[in-house]
A and B are shown apart, each in its own frame.
Chain A
Amino acid sequence: MNRVCLFLLALLVSTQALAQRVTLTVAAYPAVDDIVKSALAEWKKNHPNVDVKVIGREYADHHTAMTTALATSSGLPDVMAIEYGYLGRFALGGGLQDLDRAPYLAGQSAAKLTPFALAQGRSGGAGLSAMPTDIGPGAMFYRQDLMSKAQVTEAELTGSWDSFIGSGQKLKKSTGALLVAHARDIKDIVIRSGIPAGQGIYFDDQGKSVIDSAERFRKGFELARRVRAEGLDAKVNAWSNEWGESLKRGQVGVQMMGAWLGGHLQNWLAPNTSGLWRSAALPERVNTSWGGTFYAIPNKAQHKELAWDLIRHLTLNRKQQEQAFEKFNAFPALLEAQNGAFFDQPVAFLGGQKARISWRQSAVQISPTRVFKNDALAEEIVNAELDLVLTKGKSVDQALKDAHKAVQRRASRS
């Protein structure tokens, strides 16, 4: 009798265990997939019966696969990593869970997250479509050694765009180094500054293009044109071989990008220049961000609650956010994590500067912009027109008019 009971008990326990074995699917791209994998050891301590499958795909491939999955409502993961550039489209599509609602109630943790990042997650107009996990507060990385040789102070670099360009002229004269990698970089920053609340970069709250009316476009185009005309840019595109080389050789004095660039410079882009760079704010106190990663739960996901649990661990767990920054350069969206000891440390690569503190300060000042479905298209068209201004001498007015017309034409289709 005892043996039978024991046997039945064992059977019961084992079937229970088997019945509870669940597989959670996470779809991501590098390096988010690595970040998720590194979090699993900790998370699984509380969920021993859950297997987590991380599907890693190349950045564009991942978003294409997610587009396909959303289109067919099949093959969707439980947790979907989305990069900021694609967030607008996916959120507006209506296929993602609203994390403000029950059972997620993300709003309860709203105060813990960097304000603009949370707002970006809400910018699809369908509640909170995705939780922010990392952000890219903008910073100006500049070569301190070259600047001091040219007798350019940091104040001159960051004071105004005019003084920024003036510094460029001084830099070129004394060291031969160029100011920026590409004139377009300046335009990119300027058009992201001074955006009225409720509007997007290219569209107003009615969805109409503001390219020919918003002053920031004219200013951005003018500044870029000036920089090119005075021969202050290296005409290299970011992430190309030449770009890497120009950073290594000190042929470019300034690189404005997300704060995460510091880690890349140190690890592989230009390790030989350690100690020569400093980080500063963007000119005219512009606060903008580069990229950013979010986690979403598709409507058709199978294990929504487990998915939410994992997302909470990835985004609200301080140790996890800190670890992601230290190991993978992912600047935490969690405010708590930005206060860690790690942030107060001097950064050797930047000559001992306590840069992370200034990045943190910049991050909380970034204001959110609304995303629109046609943002990618508008960016493309504007860049094409800028190209014509820079290389073929097209007039800024005409370029803005043409860009506006083309964008309006496409935007009015939807």
Chain B
Amino acid sequence: MKPWVGQALAPYVLISPFMVLFLVFGLFPIGFSFFLMFHMWDPVQGLGTMKFVGLDNLLFALEEPLVWTSLGNTLWLALAAGLPQHLVAIPLAFLINERLGRWRNAAMGAYFLPYITSTVAIAMMFSSMLSTDYGIINAALDGLARWPLLQGLLPSEHIDWMGSPETIKPVIAFVVFWRYLGFNVILYVAAMQSIPRELYEAARMDGARHWQQFFFITLPQLKPMMFFGVTLTVIGGLQLFEEPFILTGGKGGAEYAAMTTAMYMYRTAFEFNDFGLASAISWLLFVVIMVLTLATNWLFKSKQG
């Protein structure tokens, strides 16, 4: 009896829900935004008032110093927040998965909490903790500074974490790292769950130590999930908006040190009401993200033997 969906047809059937949704809800917004890039549009004036300006928006964006500043900020933040996320998540996931037994769920839960905390609460907590004169962090540093050994290393005045351009970037990178570490831990634990136990047993019988098992069994098996996780981090990092937005009150911090491209795009659209320029900026960002995603792709694929 021949099945009515053969091997040739099956993949198309399986993909069809995605295709339908994409064609209806995905294509139009993308097309609209592309179309908008070549027009000057103040949304408040209504749909009919779009004015064709050709490449004006793109050229303006390329010459606008703030666009380049924001791109630089974005790349820095993506790297500073993204790299630790994975470097810490993988060994952590290994520890949690292999060594924690019944505490596993509790540990994963603790690391997962930041991901589900509301951004309003996060903004409040961190600005409270990092307050220049009253915050817990500076208070702790004060306490540490009384130890003779550390006195030379620590600054004598309270650090203005949220207010000075040099510190706001690391602060945001830390908050992003804090927020998404648990997410990556969960991903990696799930992936580690699917590594066949026989591999470990065989290795153990051959006398392999824990760290050797980690490097020669766990890591290689994690490649597909690593590729996924890193790609997400690259894309998410380059589109970083929420954390810098809430931590700087939507303004981008002193000297725009925390203004990411996505944030600048949002402000151009909704605060300065220039949708055409905002579209142009977003497509510029798209190009950057695409290039880096292809690079990630190349990196992982070329390593697969």
Query: Footprint of B on A, CB under 8 Å?
Result: 60, 63-64, 67-68, 70-73, 89-90, 92-95, 235, 237, 240-242, 245, 373-374, 376-377, 380, 384, 387-388, 391-392, 410, 413-414
Contact = CB atoms under 8 A, between A and B. Distances in A.
Contacts of B132: 235, 242
Nearest to B57: A413
Contacts of A71: 43-44, 46-47
A387 B255 contact: yes
Given A73-B47, A241-B128, A376 B272 contact: yes
A90 B270 CA distance: 12
Residue picked from A60, A95, A387, most chain B C-beta under 10 Å: A387
Interface in B243-287: 249-251, 254-256, 270-274, 277
B127 A67 contact: no
Contacts of A68: 43
B134 A70 contact: no
Interface string B1-45: 000000000000000000000000000000000000000101111
Contacts of B127: 240-241
B249 A67 contact: no
A242 B134 contact: yes
Contact of A413 (B40, B46, B131, B164): B40
Nearest to A376: B271
Given A70-B43, A72-B47, A241-B127, A384 B274 contact: no
A63 B127 CA distance: 26
Contacts, number: 73
Contact of A374 (B134, B251, B255, B272): B272
A357 B42 CA distance: 42
Given A241-B127, A387-B254, A67 B274 contact: no
B134 A95 contact: no
Given A242-B131, A387-B255, A73 B40 contact: no
A72 B32 CA distance: 13
Contact of A237 (B134, B249, B277): B249
14 contacts: A64-B270, A67-B44, A70-B46, A71-B47, A73-B47, A93-B42, A94-B45, A241-B127, A241-B128, A242-B133, A373-B42, A377-B271, A410-B272, A413-B60
A94 B56 CA distance: 25
Contacts of B124: 241
B163 interface: yes
B271 to A, nearest CB: 5
A412 B254 CA distance: 26
With most chain A CB atoms within 10 A of its CB, the pick from B46, B163, B270 is B46
Contacts of B44: 67, 70-71, 89-90, 92-93, 95
A63 B42 CA distance: 14
B160 interface: yes
A377 B131 contact: no
Given A241-B127, A413-B40, A413-B60, A67 B255 contact: no
